Amino acid sequence: MGEGEHLAAQALADRFRVSRAPVTAALKALAAAGVVEARANRGFFVRRAPDGAVEAGQGDDPLYSAIVEARLSADLPDRASENEMMRRFDVTRVRLQRVLAQIAEEGWVERLPGHGWLFLATLHSAEAYEQAYRFRATIETEALLQPGYRFVPAEMEALRAGQRRLLEGGIASLPRVGLYAINAGLHETIVAWSGNRFFLDAIRRVNRLRRLIEFRANADRARLDQQCREHLALLDLIERGDMLLAADFLRRHIGQALDAKVGLVE
């Protein structure tokens, strides 16, 4: 594939005989790692490796991190011009636009007419973060208990492969935004198997709202190894059809994650 070539999610899903969900999650992780480029309302494209490109795993994009922290600290207003952000973060317009395009693809900023941008509402406080987790526990466990719940085998294997890749080194090498995309994608896919689009819409919305605050909460990666192993155990329960046990396991998994993270976001 050449520089600038479009990576169509549906075409890739058809090629590998999976749904769009795991493909989109993988593309978002690749965009976060700088391998592909996410363009707002256009999709994903092959990115040229710049001269002296860093190896995968060097860390989070410093500009992306700075924007996240500025928003979480309420130091960056909801509306900001590119010129203002260029001065604030001391970057070129091209560099800024590239990161803003990624953020737009993630769903927490929108372009305004001219050179302005509108940052959308996200979770900022520990209290809101805790409420979001309790909401997730309610919706996600109920999704597992729906009478029409059916997992998709190809998606199941894709989710397992993603968690194994994290355990085999991805936890240390991927930027935090990539880790979030993979794990949020897993939870969204599990909810999607319920067949209830309202459940899925609700989880997607809360995942968008908590994206920034999770960036801070996941600064400590020590628990991610255990989190991945719990994800694999949950998938095993779903595959066996032990839905009551799976729902109880998922409720405890979300609760333990909240207990481990809530102190990190205050």
Please report whether residue 174 resides in a domain: yes
Q: Which of 256, 11, 1, 262 is nearest to 131 (CA)?
A: 262
3-state SS assignment for residue 116: strand
- The list of the chain residues with pLDDT below 70 reads 1-3, 14-19, 22, 25, 29-35, 47-60, 216-220, 262-266
- Residue 55 has a pLDDT of 36
Least Cα distance to 44 among 59, 65, 29, 64 occurs for 29
In a domain, 161, yes or no: yes
The pLDDT score that the predictor gives to residue 57 is 39
Q: Are 144 and 250 in contact (CB under 8 A)?
A: yes
For 173-194, the pLDDT digits (tens) are 887 777 888 888 999 999 999 9
* CA angle centred on 241, ends 236 and 205, rounded to 5°: 75
Answer yes or no: is 259 within a domain: yes
Note whether residue 70 is domain-resident. no
Confirm if 166 and 160 have CB atoms less than 8 A apart.
no
Contact 112, 97 (CB under 8 A): no
- Amino acid 51: pLDDT: 37
Q: Does the residue 184 lie in any domain? A: yes
CATH number at residue 146: 1.20.120.530
Longest dimension (CA), the chain: 55
Q: What is the pLDDT of residue 2?
A: 52
Residue 16, domain member (yes or no): no
Distance in angstroms (rounded) separating the CA atoms of residues 261 and 266: 10
pLDDT for the residue 233: 98
Q: Identify the pLDDT of residue 56.
A: 37
Q: Residue 259: what pLDDT? A: 86
Q: Which pLDDT score, from 0 to 100, does residue 176 have?
A: 78
Number of separate domains in the chain: 1
- The pLDDT of residue 200 is 93
- Pairwise CA distance, residues 214 & 71, whole Å: 13
Q: What's the CA gap between 35 and 26, in Å, rounded?
A: 11
Cβ-Cβ contacts under 8 Å for 105 (sequence gap 6 or more)? 28, 31, 38, 39, 40
The whole-angstrom separation of Cα 224 and Cα 5 is 33
18 vs 130: CA distance, rounded Å: 33
pTM for this predicted structure: 0.68
Model pLDDT, residue 15: 63
Quick one: pLDDT at residue 53?
36
Query: Would 236 be classed as within a structural domain?
Result: yes
Q: Which of 258, 139, 129, 147 is nearest to 202 (CA)?
A: 139
**Residue 135: is it exposed, middle or buried by C-beta count within 10 angstroms (0-12/13-18/19+)?**
middle
Task: Please report whether residue 26 resides in a domain.
Answer: no
Among 162, 181, 193, CA closest to 64? 181
Backbone φ and ψ for 55, nearest 5 degrees, come out as -70, 150
What range defines the domain where residue 157 resides? 126-264
The closest alpha carbon to 61, from 177, 190, 216, belongs to: 177
Q: What is the pLDDT of residue 91?
A: 93
pLDDT at 61: 80
